[in-house]
Structure 1
Amino acid sequence: MEKHDGRETAQPRAGDRGGLGDPWYDAPASGWGEWDGTGAPAPTVPAQPARRERSAAGVYLEVQRSAAFQEVRGRYRRFVVPATVLFFAWYLAYVVAATSAPALMARPVAGSVNVAMVAGLGQFASTFLLTWLYARHARLRRDRPALELRWDTQEMTRSIDDSVRMNGSAQSESGRR
């Protein structure tokens, strides 16, 4: 007889929002599973009651118009737009220099290494640097607020789903009588 701890048999079910396919599954939302420093779990905030006549599309529009969403988008744009312009200008300068100033690019720097080789390696280095900076910026300034928005949105849509399910079952019960 084999002993199993159940890990290899865990598979996500159809319609399962959490689980193995969700990259945010293990990340706690603010106030969920976090400790308040006294050894007791922090109190959780109760879900907001759902308003009548609310749809999932309305929830997403409400979230999109919220100040928290606009702040996350603003942080994203304040990093991405200047970084894209700077990186594109650096790449364009490299290409223009390579085509219009071959004598400059052929100038030796150290031994058989010339300016073109150093600039080409600089393109690779700047790509990796920009990728690292982007990931760091996202981790430090956008991931937590975006995760909180995601949890809030899921709670709002879940309350809609629950009210639709409850209303649908009530209607089906009254239709049987």
Structure 2
Amino acid sequence: MSDTRPGEPDLTTYRDAQLSPDFSELRRRFRRFVFPMTGLFLVWYFVYVLLADYAPKFMAHKIGGNITVGLLFGLGQFVSTFAITLLYVRWADQKFDPDAKHLRDQIEGEPS
């Protein structure tokens, strides 16, 4: 008895797709975007945390009114999160999703 439902690709189809050069290229492009972006964000986050812990006077420095350097850095965390999300969505729409859809169509046996 087969493990797949009618109309679904079998496991060898998925294995073949995973071993294909197209899939390897797709994975490589994904990693070339995501890993550096994740590293950049983590460095930015840890700089914020370390400054808050080891440089409290610097973080408490008032910029104007009750606005401090620490508050601006904290808000910058939110802004950078949204910016990275927007960059990823834009990158994925233009450079990743079309090729991923093409590969999916090949696996499912649909015309591209």
Q: Which has the larger radius of gyration?
A: 1
Category of TM-score, reference length = shorter chain: 0.7 to 0.9
Equivalent residue number for residue 86 of structure 2: 132
- Which whole-Å CA distance do the structure 1 matches of 2:18 and 2:107 have between them? 10
Within a 5 Å distance, the mapping from 1:48-127 to structure 2 comes to 56-127=10-81
Runs of 4 or more above 2 Å deviation: none
Question: Using the alignment, how far apart are the partners of 2:83 and 2:64 within structure 1?
Answer: 24
TM-score by length of 1: 0.56
Deviation at 1:111, TM superposition (A): 2.0
Higher helix share: 2
Partner Cα distance (1:109, 1:75) in 2: 41
Structure 1, unmatched stretches of 5+, are 1-14, 18-54, 157-177
Percent identity at matched positions? 41
Question: Aligned-pair distance for 1:112?
Answer: 1.6
Q: CA shift at 1:62, angstroms?
A: 0.8
How far apart are the structure 1 equivalents of 2:42 and 2:89?
19
Query: For 2:93 and 2:25, how far apart are their aligned partners in 1?
Result: 15
Q: Give SS of 1:126's match.
A: helix
Give me the whole-angstrom Cα distance separating, in 1, the residues matched to 2:10 and 2:83: 39
By relative contact order (CA 8 Å, sep 6+), the higher-ranking structure is: 2
CA deviation map 1:81-127 (0-9, x unaligned) = 00111101100110110011000001111222010010000000000
TM-score by length of 2: 0.87
Superposition RMSD in Å: 1.9
Amino acid at match of 1:111: G
Q: Quick one: distance in 1 between partners of 2:18 and 2:57?
A: 53
